[in-house]
Structure 1
Amino acid sequence: MTAAGDGPWLDDAAGRLVRPFAVSDGRTRPTVALDLISQVMATGTTPLGHLAPEHTQALDLCHAPVSVAEVAAHLKLPAAVAKVLLADLLDCGALTTKPPAFHHTPTDRALLEAVLDGLRRQL
């Protein structure tokens, strides 16, 4: 049985009928290093050749800058699979990426402690 609005690729009992790594042809490593907070955006260049439906969906999400994590969430795919799809689009020139801009190293202890202090104040 198909859930309403989910299309033929989801089944209430079995879940997703196409396993996530089948979407990336079994590849688990992207050709480009991407962080979950890296921003990707469509370049307007039309990729040559056939795109899988997931590639097309990912490209449609990237008309404005969007993080890799957001793309994975919208596609309902594991981040590793989304990274492979986005790397494919980057390789063919359909996307561009911009690493996150940090004034500090993202693992800087002082920065992490400041975030923790802010969260504690909110509770």
Structure 2
Amino acid sequence: MPVPLDGPLLDAAAGRLIRPYTVSGGRTRATAALDLLTLVRATGNVPRSPLGPEHAQALALCRAPVSVAEVSAHLRLPAAVAKVLLSDLVECGAVTARAPRHHDNPADISLLEAVLDGLRRRL
């Protein structure tokens, strides 16, 4: 379920009004080990400290298991920025992260193609 990006953060003509590095507080590295296929899911725990609107949007996307790549695409943010946001949510206990399950071959090209096809259909 995509989160609408409207209001003061997005302008139809100009695009995103806040630079991605501002969203992550200038941080470029996530503190949690996340890759594009890592699955994240909300725990139901409410963060103790208030988080930014992008954190809230990311958390809303995590109601069901979703990949880091999907969160990045829905938020229209670079993957590195999405990883920082999700890492913050993991640290405060609002989200859990786990590596995807692979059957026989962890580098199975069909899995990667399926993820890519799914992302293309949603965008």
Q: TM-score, normalised by structure 1?
A: 0.78
**Structure-2 residue corresponding to 1:105:** 106
What is the distance in 2 between the residues matched to 1:46 and 1:11?
A: 30
Give every structure 1 segment of 4 or more consecutive aligned residues whose post-TM-superposition deviation is greater than 3 Å: 11-14
Secondary structure at the aligned position of 1:72 is classed as: helix
Q: How many matched pairs?
A: 106
Match of 1:8, SS state, is helix
Give aligned-pair identity as a percent. Answer: 62
Matched, 1:65 2:50: no
Residue 6 of structure 1: CA displacement?
Answer: 2.8
- Render the CA deviation track for 1:61-101: whole Å, top value 9, x for unaligned: 10100000111111111110000000000001100011012
Matches within 5 A, 1:1-123: 6-102=6-102, 103-106=104-107, 111-112=108-109, 115=110
CA distance in 2, matches of 1:35, 1:55: 18
Mark the runs of 5 or more structure 2 residues left unpaired by the alignment. Answer: 111-123
Larger Rg: 1
Q: CA deviation at 1:33?
A: 1.2
Counterpart AA for 1:91:
E
Q: Secondary structure at 1:50's aligned position in 2?
A: coil
Greater relative contact order structure (CA < 8 Å, 6+ sep): 2
Over the aligned positions, Cα root-mean-square deviation in angstroms equals 1.8
